[in-house]
Structure 1
Amino acid sequence: MTTILRVMLMLVLLAGSAVAAPLPLQRGVNIHEWLNWSPLDDEGNYRWPPYRSVAEWLAGGRSAEDWPATDPLADIRALGFDYVRLTVDPGPLLASEGDRRREALAVLADAVRQLNAADLRVVFNLHSVSQLPQYGMDVVNGPAGSEAVAGYSAMVADVARMLAPLGAGRVAIEPYNEPAHYPCDASGSEDWQEIMTATVAAIRAVSSELTIVATGGCGGSVTGLTDIKPTFDDPNLLYSFHMYEPHSFTHQRSDIEGDFASGLPWPASAGSAELTVEMLKAHMMAAGLSEAEQARNLSAVGGAIEEYFAEDWGEAQVTARIGEAVDWAEANGIPSERLFMGEFGAILMSADGRMGAFNADRLRYLTAVRAAAEANGIPWAIWEYANPYGMSVIAPSGPAVPDREMLGALGL
């Protein structure tokens, strides 16, 4: 090779790296109920071919007649979302190989194409669930050198091979969701660092252009992200964190069936522990709970209520917490635009007051989190599009209409 050719090749390579950038994302929504919870057969195995159709998904939590007679995916785009974080149970993929795995991958490729046809980019998230425990989170929460982790990484590479031909400008791969490795388990091990590094390498062996969304341990939190050493970084990587903080506000519900845990205000300074307790008493009395049941319920939640107000959560704390991710990125030479807030949200209070936040408080919280992300150029995805559990863009019951107040809080 002549000197001139060598120089020309170097210039081409440099030009390619200069324009390399991850999949452009701004405002997204999670779809969780479509390709998770794949139907089982009578013997408790995955129905084959696996996964649900769009029609099965939409009819899963409400009557099919509740949905408008329009293209449901085009409707998502019309609300102002530019991408979907599509959560996919890897269980059917882990349970298959060869032609059967290729059959499952073909179903998933078609789902991505449907979203792309609706002018929606896709973050394809492998999202382990507990439906069949042998294919659940324990697989990815094991040690770095385990056979299970090696099998998962090989499956991820197969997913990357399926996604790459769909176009690097249309889809990204997020191989994990909320892994529970260090620092949560206090082991001090480097297992998650090793797993994430090896997974990035497995994907890059398939495609140098496909955007990868990497995540830290500790449930995919800011703390998990800032514990990652991005030695595997390249210009087509995004770094994920989820924002459900404080969890005592976003997930107000009791672990005890029939108990009440609701009504914390946002920000904390907008109310008091005393007012929250009085509200809970009113809901419990309306539900017919005895004085003894009320006293036991209040004893169970009283500590969390006191702690919430003692910590005095508000916009400043949200901004500071997201700022920790921004500081980590800056310290590692990563633009904050390559951070990715893949989930955030808060439960809306149920009609009986057993769980959730008052709507006004929920809307203020969503506005604060969304604004803090956007102030740093961080793309976000709200949890989630449609479910009956009170954390949904679509009204959780009745006619499937968008929650317009929620969309307003999202700037849509």
Structure 2
Amino acid sequence: MVLSFCRLGRHFVHRPTTKDAKELNLPLLRIALCISCIFAGSAAASATAFTMKRGLNLEMWTTWPKPERWDEDAVLDNFPEWRHGTGPGNLERIRTAGFDFVRMPVDPAIFLEDASEKRVTTLIVQTLRTVGMLHKAGLKVIVDFHSIPSDSRKIDTNRILADDALFTRYVQMVGRLGRALSDTDPGLTAFEPFNEPVIDCDPTLAPRWPAMLKQLHSAARDAAPSHTLILSGGCWSSAYGLEKVDPSTIADDNVIWTFHSYEPYVLTHQGADWTGDSMSYVEALPYPPDLLGEKAFEERLAAIRKTIEVKAPRERREEMLIGFNEMAGGVSTYGEVLAALNEPFDKAATWGKTHNIPPERILLGEFGMIRREYQKKFRMPSEWRASYLKDVTEAAHKRGFPWAVWSWGGAFGITLDDKQRVLDPVILKGLGLK
């Protein structure tokens, strides 16, 4: 799930038998076989075991208990967490709505933090069981080893990327989970070994992610030789990060490359307290911004600036105002918004053409607009969100990219009620689904 980086995007054949051979002219046969090999190789260059079009991210944990409860049967038997209270009917409705695949976040912290062999074995069993449930519902699955940045966890994205020993353990766990997934159908299951690496956003520093990506790819590929792997660039899996990756260093045609986009960030992350910036004071900005008239939008921006001046911590007010003004600048009209929204798509498309990666192998792995921040009153109208999602999916379709919206439930959820799991019909229409 994207956090506070997002604003960088704007400033960022028949095989003959022996008997057949005796009956055929051998020189001609050799030529025919050579031609056959050429065409077979060409097809393999653009084909992956796993294909998809329209997907849904299953949400992250929101009430996951603290580590002291991670070995309780009641916790482990409902892994991943969203399975609690979820039945086959809920999953089948995802497929009926028109989604053909889901991206399933799996928390690596619980595999790594003081984890016993019993716990790891149970988690793998439950992950495979969940994949089976989704397959039974008619859905393909990307198993997404999905770490997050956190101030309170011992194991989080920042620590994994900064600690060589911990990263080595993480890579080993990627191999172990990959070996388990290798028993699943490669046409129905893909594996994403890392979510949103929070490095390589500073263009003045030497990139670290490409070397780490090669280690992750090697571990995952050795473990699951037939399965499609989902790989990204650095800097929060952004299109900017994807530009910094040379796919020839991976040299694997059974890879789908992914990028995430939530542009314009000031509109998609309204009220998000966990970003650590001024977004916690932002609400009620419509989409498109001139929906209620340009004057009304500017008045709302002024009101938000006033709120920051009054409510933000005194020592951070100036910083937050500068950050907010940077994010809000240049998105006051629909045309400006569409330009910002399309920029990462253009980057990804250009990167694909440069490296001969066909568009069906470039996945928009996350996008969305916040519904309501936890514990806050303001709820983004479904019509605003649907308009945004329509523009994003049209940008993806225009370039031939498959996509996966964030997310089923939670702050960015596309349901009316997370307990009943009823999909919002207005949102589905915006996504071009039933």
Q: Which interval holds the TM-score relative to the shorter structure?
A: 0.7 to 0.9
SS at match of 1:252: coil
Which deviates more from structure 2 when the two are superposed, residues 266-275 or residues 369-378?
266-275
Residue 53 (structure 1) aligns with: 78
Q: Verify the 8 A CA contact 1:242 1:344 in the aligned structure 2.
A: yes
Q: Verify the 8 A CA contact 2:240 2:344 in the aligned structure 1.
A: no
Residue 244 (structure 2) aligns with: 227
Which deviates more from structure 2 when the two are superposed, residues 374-383 or residues 393-402?
393-402
Residue 141 (structure 1) aligns with: 161
Which deviates more from structure 2 when the two are superposed, residues 326-335 or residues 206-215?
206-215
Question: How many angstroms does 1:151 deviate by?
Answer: 1.3
Counterpart code for 2:153:
P
Counterpart code for 1:266:
Y
In structure 2, what is the Cα distance between the partners aligned to 1:381 and 1:88?
16
Residue 29 (structure 1) aligns with: 56
Counterpart code for 1:154:
Q
Residue 194 (structure 2) aligns with: 176
Q: How do residues 116-195 of structure 1 correspond to structure 2 at under 5 angstroms?
A: 116-129=135-148, 130=150, 133-142=153-162, 146-182=164-200, 184-186=201-203, 188-195=205-212
Alignment RMSD (CA, Å): 3.8
Q: Deviations over 1:302-324 (max 9, x none)?
A: 65257524345322332232011
Question: How many angstroms does 1:351 deviate by?
Answer: 12
Question: How many angstroms does 1:39 deviate by?
Answer: 4.0
In structure 1, what is the Cα distance between the partners aligned to 2:418 and 2:224?
42
Structure 1: which 5+ residue stretches go unaligned? 285-291
Q: Verify the 8 A CA contact 1:84 1:381 in the aligned structure 2.
A: yes
Q: Deviations over 1:222-265 (max 9, x none)?
A: 11111111120322101111111111111011649997411223
Distance change >3 Å, CA 72–CA 181, structure 1 → 2? same
Counterpart code for 2:110:
P
In structure 2, what is the Cα distance between the partners aligned to 1:104 and 1:271?
49
In structure 1, what is the Cα distance between the partners aligned to 2:73 and 2:204?
39
In structure 1, what is the Cα distance between the partners aligned to 2:123 and 2:99?
27
The two structures have a TM-score, normalised by structure 2, of: 0.77
Question: Which of 296, 299, 319 is the matching residue for 2:310?
Answer: 296
Distance change >3 Å, CA 169–CA 125, structure 1 → 2? same
Question: How many angstroms does 1:40 deviate by?
Answer: 4.3
Q: Verify the 8 A CA contact 1:112 1:122 in the aligned structure 2.
A: yes
Counterpart code for 1:190:
P
Question: How many angstroms does 1:279 deviate by?
Answer: 4.8
Residue 308 (structure 1) aligns with: 328
In structure 2, what is the Cα distance between the partners aligned to 1:392 and 1:209?
33
Residue 346 (structure 1) aligns with: 369
Aligned length: 388
Distance change >3 Å, CA 397–CA 124, structure 1 → 2? closer
In structure 1, what is the Cα distance between the partners aligned to 2:58 and 2:310?
37
In structure 1, what is the Cα distance between the partners aligned to 2:222 and 2:402?
27
Q: Verify the 8 A CA contact 1:50 1:92 in the aligned structure 2.
A: no
Residue 405 (structure 1) aligns with: 426
Is 2:236 aligned against 1:209?
A: no
Counterpart code for 1:335:
P
Q: Deviations over 1:348-380 (max 9, x none)?
A: 367998656444332221111111101111111
Structure 2: which 5+ residue stretches go unaligned? 1-17
Residue 289 (structure 1) aligns with: none
Distance change >3 Å, CA 206–CA 49, structure 1 → 2? farther
Is 2:90 aligned against 1:72?
A: yes
Q: How do residues 327-346 of structure 1 correspond to structure 2 at under 5 angstroms?
A: 327-346=350-369
The two structures have a TM-score, normalised by structure 1, of: 0.81
Residue 391 (structure 2) aligns with: 368
Q: Deviations over 1:295-343 (max 9, x none)?
A: 6259887652575243453223322320110100110111111101111
Which deviates more from structure 2 when the two are superposed, residues 130-139 or residues 88-97?
130-139
Residue 9 (structure 2) aligns with: none
Q: Verify the 8 A CA contact 1:254 1:355 in the aligned structure 2.
A: no
In structure 2, what is the Cα distance between the partners aligned to 1:193 and 1:55?
29
Question: Which of 119, 122, 125 is the matching residue for 1:103?
Answer: 122
Q: Verify the 8 A CA contact 2:77 2:126 in the aligned structure 1.
A: no
Task: Using the aligned pairs only, state the percent identity.
Answer: 28
Distance change >3 Å, CA 401–CA 50, structure 1 → 2? closer
Residue 287 (structure 1) aligns with: none
Counterpart code for 1:224:
G
